[in-house]
Chains A and B, each alone.
Chain A
Amino acid sequence: MSRVIEVKGISKKYRLGTQEMEHETFVASIWHGIKAPIRNFQRIRNLSALDRERDSVFWALNDVSFNLEHGQVLGIIGHNGAGKSTLLKILSQITEPSAGEIIIRGRVASLLEVGTGFHPELSGRDNVYMNGTILGMTKKEISRKFDEIVDFSGVEKHIDTPVKFYSSGMKVRLGFAVAAHLEPEILIIDEVLAVGDIGFQRKCLGKMGEVAGNGRTILFVSHNMAAVQALCTHGLMLHNGQVAYQGLVSEATQHYLAEFQSESGDFFSGNIQRSGSGKVLINSFQVHNLLGEPMTSVHTGADIVLSFKLHTEERQVLEGIDIGFSIHSTEDDSLLTILYSSYMGKVFTITSKDATLQCVLKSLPLPEGRYLIKAQIMQRGEVLDFPTRGVGYLEVIDGDFYGTGIKSTRLTRNKPDFLITGNWKQL
């Protein structure tokens, strides 16, 4: 086995945008406008002058090192902003590192986008050549594989039509068909599989698997843990621009999922901000599957159990206990939905110091993401307990919501707030 990629201490810094000033008076804003060209010049000049440290800089990557042997398929995983894309951009020579060195042995093709360089006015044929040469193929190579590419894309009939008349799906298929026929020794792929229709995605995954089987070295960035586990032999997990874990792919994905958990925040330690009378307190929240096993993350479409543990200081009989939870988006904190047991015509009676109340949710209709769960306990219109920060996070990963064996995000182009099912029929 030979070492194909050696990454030694790669760092990359970016300058953070400086905040615009606000003006209180009309005169001040005019004066500001007059001085603007000078200030703009200084600011724009600094865009490329990263060596001066006086402004705030952001380290997108910080001392990242790893090696890749011939034939290995490395999955690069990490949260948004972990530095995955920056790393790929440096490896593809689109941007240069601020420090460190990379040695690559072999021909590299990188695929950060499907159909780069497509021109809407030109025919599919012209664009295949255009895109192919941009990705580093020669005219001869493309001509040799042209029929194969067109065949793979499935747009034979329209190959001489300007691309502007193509549907977006056709464009993607044609773009990927070109990319799939690259024959580099090293292939760098960003999350480009998340486009196109399902049938074509399967085909692409198959083609990629075939490529990997040919002993080619591949770097693959994805949020799709299933794809990473299926395709990759090794995993590299980035966190805040640093290597958090590297090793076999199964362990790397476990670290990734475990990190979700550690970041889930402990809502029940230290000072808990609560409102309510405090007659009963919520002291734990957990998510289980139907078998009662605790879950750190759940799949879209899965049946899950939300489990709330309650505690009272003294043993007493409390009747008419109404428990409710709400689900909030962590992006903008908006309320997505709310469900009290009383909505379903159910109130509880607590007779012991500790009690556990559970709510079974069938076919979770939430798309991939992280959600904040808040909970409140009521008794005949009186609030007994309401931890104001919430009780926990719900980590949802993409799953088979519609029961067709296909992940939901593959089907929905724009990320919806929630998913629904329905029975389709023809009258």
Chain B
Amino acid sequence: MSVMETIIKKKTGWIGINWAELFRYKDLLWFLTVRSIKAKYAQSVLGVSWAVIQPLFSTLVYTIVFGNLARIDSNGVPYFLFSLVALVPWTFFSNTLSESANSLINNANLVTKVYFPRLVLPLSSVFSKGIDFLIGFILLVVVLIIYKQTPDYTIIFLPWLLLVLLMTSLGTGMLLSALAVQYRDVKYALVFMVQLLMYAAPVVYPTTNVPEAYRSGYALNPMVGVIEGFRSIFLKTLPFPYFWVVLGSFVSLVLFLGGLFFFRKMERVFSDVA
């Protein structure tokens, strides 16, 4: 029988991921995810239906305010569809961001008492929000069927968009969670940052409303490519925005790797400063 050998010493510099260890703790990841979902909907009458209500009501409000009152252009599709298609990925991004940024602080009692790969915490936030995303996505599909919308063949790029969405959410989440342990300001700033960020992405307005000259800079926000990609696939508002998605992919990759390495670097001191 081979004996597992652990060496404990001060780590320096940038640290990669210990995949084997992360795999050993897959059950913990699973139960943390289940815990946050169960705990969230425990003692609630509507339960998981909240995952439907949240995007649906936001969409209704935006349709009234931005579509009917402000009469914002929606690239020729009903504003309701226009904003719902954007809100499904956006809700995932903003929820994951807030949840994972707070994941370490909220679980400080675990971090200071037990060892496990700390990455499990932001990862489980992403997973539990992934369930909400799935439910929102099903809602979207139902609405699209009602409106008799057929997706474009570019739907083959959907996994690509999802990957960009995932890396952006997780990357930012890891970055912020590592910062939030030491600087509680992150927690307070996040609440309105998430609201403000929504206006930096084409959620309630189309990218075509952004002046041409600024669009490339605007598309550095990976969510621009994701949202416009979603719209292109499901509503055929524009041809598939390859350039924006490629640009967003690079940025999301940088965010993901940056977030990951920053997290791993800061991980060493979590329990001392939490």
In whole Å, how far is B61's beta carbon from the nearest beta carbon of chain A? 30
A414 near B: Cβ within 8 Å?
A: no
A126 near B: Cβ within 8 Å?
A: yes
In whole Å, how far is A364's beta carbon from the nearest beta carbon of chain B? 36
Neighbouring A residues of B269 by C-beta, 8 Å: 47-48
Q: Tally chain A residues at the interface, Cβ within 8 Å.
A: 44
Q: Tally chain B residues at the interface, Cβ within 8 Å.
A: 37
Mark A92-118 against chain B: 1 for CB-CB distance below 8 A, else 0.
Answer: 111111111111111110101100110
B9 near A: Cβ within 8 Å?
A: yes
In whole Å, how far is B112's beta carbon from the nearest beta carbon of chain A? 6
B43 near A: Cβ within 8 Å?
A: yes
B10 touches A126 (CB 8 A): no
Stretch from B29-37, B155-163, B198-206 that touches the partner: B29-37
In whole Å, how far is B234's beta carbon from the nearest beta carbon of chain A? 36
A215 near B: Cβ within 8 Å?
A: no
B183 near A: Cβ within 8 Å?
A: yes
B3 near A: Cβ within 8 Å?
A: yes
Neighbouring A residues of B111 by C-beta, 8 Å: 94
Contacts A96-B9, A134-B110 hold; do A139 and B42 have CB atoms under 8 A apart? no
B11 touches A96 (CB 8 A): yes
Stretch from B75-83, B113-121, B209-217, B223-231 that touches the partner: B113-121
Q: Which residues B141-188 have CB closer than 8 A to chain A?
A: 182-183
Contacts A92-B115, A119-B35 hold; do A139 and B6 have CB atoms under 8 A apart? no
Task: Choose one: B34, B114, B266; the contact of A94 (CB below 8 Å).
Answer: B114
- Which 7 pairs between the two chains have the least Cβ-Cβ distance? A93-B115, A121-B42, A102-B8, A133-B28, A48-B269, A101-B9, A139-B27
Would you mind naming 26 contact pairs between A and B with Cβ atoms under 8 Å apart? Answer: A47-B269, A48-B269, A92-B114, A94-B111, A94-B114, A96-B11, A99-B10, A102-B7, A102-B8, A102-B9, A103-B8, A108-B6, A110-B114, A110-B115, A116-B109, A121-B43, A122-B35, A122-B38, A126-B34, A129-B31, A130-B31, A130-B32, A133-B27, A133-B31, A134-B114, A135-B114
Contact surface of A with B, Cβ cutoff 8 Å:
14, 44-45, 47-48, 89-108, 110, 112-113, 116-117, 119, 121-122, 126, 129-130, 133-139, 162
